[in-house]
Each structure stands twice: as C-alpha cells, then as structure tokens.
Amino acid sequence: MTKAPILSVDGLRVTFRARGRTVTALRDVGFSLQAGKTLALVGESGSGKSVTSLALLGLLPPNGAVAGGNAFYRSRNGETVDLAGLSARAFRKIRGREIAMIFQEPMSSLNPLFSIGEQIGEMLDLHEDLDAATRRRRIVEMLELVEIPAAASRLSSYPHELSGGMRQRVMIALALVCAPQLLIADEPTTALDVTVQAQILELMRRLQREMGMSILFITHDMGVVAEMADDVAVMYAGAVVEEAGVGELFAAPAHPYTRGLLASIPRPDRPEGERLKAIPGAVPPLFALPRGCAFAPRCSFALPACQRRVLLMEVAARHRAACIRAQEVLADA
C-alpha cells in the first residue's frame, strides 16, 4: 500500500514566547504517515514529540505558535488541509471527527465532574446528530469495543470510580467514538503498569485493524515502538533526525543518535556484566542549541563539517536520516 500519505509534515517550526524571548521548540520536523499505518514518533523528554502532536491539532498553549512549515492532512472527503495554518474555527471541524487524541495521563485527562456517558456522549453531540436511543447505543458499543466490563452500567460512572487502565480505555473510547481517520496517541501507556500497558497496546492494535484508522504514536519507549509501529521517526532537540520502517531502523540505524538509543536498551541476551551503553552528555537546552547538527557535541562520528545545517536525506529505500556520515553509520551496523 503506497497510497498518498494521510499526514505529511514538512519543515514544521514551532516557537514559544517566554519572558520576552522566543524559543524554538521545533526546528525542522518532517515525517509522513501512511493511511491505516502506525508511525511512532520517538525521542527523549524535551525532544519536541508532544509539541509536535499538540501543534497538529492546534492545541499549543497560548504562548506557542506554528512559525513555519506544512502539515498536509488528507481529510475524509479527500480534501487536503494544511494543519499548520488552520484557523480555530477550522480546527474545530477536524478535532474529534477527523483527528482525535489520547493523552499520557488517564487520571487527569478525563473531566472529574462528568460521567463517562456524558463525556463520550458529548463527542457524539458535537459531531453527529443522533436520537437518544442511538446515542446511548453508540456509547455502549464503544465501551464494549474497548473491553469495559458491564459497559451499559458504566455510563453513569465517574472517572474516579475507575482504575488507570480503565480510564485509558474510556479515553480511547472517547477518542474513537466518531471513528476518526487519525488517532494521535501521546504516550498513552507511559503512566500505566506494565501489564496494563500491554493490554492497552493490544487493544489499540485490534481497534486499528477493525476501524482502519492511522495512528501517530508518540513514545520514548523503544520496546513499545517495536511492538506498535510500522514506521518510525526519531526526534532530537526539536527536529526529526531519522525516519524509516521499523524493521530497517532497528536492523540498521543510519543516524548516530538512533544507534545510541538502540544501544542503550537493556536486553537479556547481552552478555552478563556488559555495561549499558549510555549516550554521553545531555540534550542541549533549546535556547542554546549548537550550530548545525544538534547532536554533534555528543556524537562519536562528528566532524567539523557537522557545524553546517544538515537536512533529512534519503540513505536507502524508505529510509531518511539527517547525518552527513549516514552511509558510514549504516555500513558500520
């Protein structure tokens, strides 16, 4: 399936005003998400993954703004919409119906003062015109779809009466009740127990098979990437530094940062006593980024030429990386 992508982001820039100065949170974010597939956006805290997801739905905080780039989204009726320059009014038509989002904290992402039924029902009220019986049936069906036991009796429950895993199921039900084309999942399992995490991931995979939506999956967990993603975009300091199919990326990373990330995953098959390979140094603060490649100061492959601006380049079929020595990194794998 190599149709036109459902979401194609290019050169996305986001800036924040803070205490009179402007900080660039996203410098150059580009990736594309194929219809019906899952793209994982990975990176450390502060790399700009969440900012990217919020920017795509126009949910940036008031001091943040999209300062450049495009995010072309192909809507249900085949029109192409640039999410990077959308008005508040136009975003309201996209949110919930075309693109829905689930968040990291299921504890705080549901409104504590409204029942589950009210919160899911509101989504239907906003986008569809249903009679009371159909509305109720749709809510119950959706709760059953996310495997909430005794769904019909849960409509009048409040979030505080549910466990974290159940709340995340409710969040997923809320996001998917209007059958959006694209689901943005911002670290949906990070706040959950490992066993619950596995259940939620399995649920999302099943729903994707059944409903056919595309997923932009934001995570910092390479294990989750391996389990969920078809394609991966790796972010570092506000830019995408590598984009590839999940198999290609794990087998042969072309960017030294990705390589470092993969090498730092603890694995039971490594020889006993071998130390984990941490990436030396720390992510630079956004207001003090080095010139050129932001990873260069921590990179063992770095050359003086890395101080020039590096763009994402094709390094193999369906594999792009922003590194001047990508071929050598690939060959070294």
Partner 1 sequence: MLSSVADPAPAMLKYVLNRLVGMVVVLFLVLTITFVIVRVAPGDPAALMLGPDATPQDAAQLRAELGLDQPILVQFGKFLLSAVQGDLGQSLFFRRPVLSVLAERAEPTTFLALFSLIFSIAIAVPIGIFVAYRRGGLADQGAVSTAMLAASVPSFWTGLVLQRWLATGLGWFPASGYGGPSSTFLDRMGYLILPSIVLGIVNSALILRFTRASMLDVLGEDYIRTARSKGMSEARVVLKHALKNAAIPIVTVVGLTFALLVSGAVVTERVFNIPGMGSLVVGAVLRRDYPIIQGTLIVVAALYILINLLVDLLYLLIDKRVRY
Piece in contact with partner 1 (CB under 8 A), picked from 28-36, 89-97, 254-262, 324-332 = 89-97
Q: What are phi and psi of 98, to 5 degrees?
A: -95, -50
Three state DSSP letters for 148-190: CCCHHHHCCCCHHHCCHHHHHHHHHHHHHCCCCCEEEEECCCC
d(CA 207, CA 218): 17
Residue 149 sits in the site that holds partner 1 (CB under 8 A): yes
| Separation CA 191–CA 107 (nearest Å) | 9
Name the segment binding partner 1 (CB under 8 A); options: 77-85, 94-102, 218-226, 290-298.
94-102
Q: Any contact of residue 97 with partner 1 (CB under 8 A)?
A: yes
Q: Which of 7, 55, 81, 123 binds partner 1 (CB under 8 A)?
A: 123
Query: Which one of 32, 70, 75, 157 is in contact with partner 1 (CB under 8 A)?
Result: 157
59 part of the interface to partner 1, by CB under 8 A: yes
Q: Is 73 in the site for partner 1 (CB under 8 A)?
A: no
Q: What is the DSSP secondary structure assignment for residue 291, as one 8-state letter?
A: S
Task: Decide if residue 47 touches partner 1 (CB under 8 A).
Answer: no
Q: Which helix H or strand E contains 205, and what residues bound it?
A: helix 194-211
CA distance 301 to 222: 23
Task: Considering the complex, state which of residue 72 and residue 91 has its C-beta at the smaller distance from partner 1.
Answer: 91
* 167 near partner 1, rule: CB under 8 A: no
Binding positions for partner 1, rule: CB under 8 A: 57, 59, 88, 91-97, 100-101, 103, 105, 108-114, 122-123, 126-127, 149-150, 154, 157-158, 160-163, 166, 171, 174
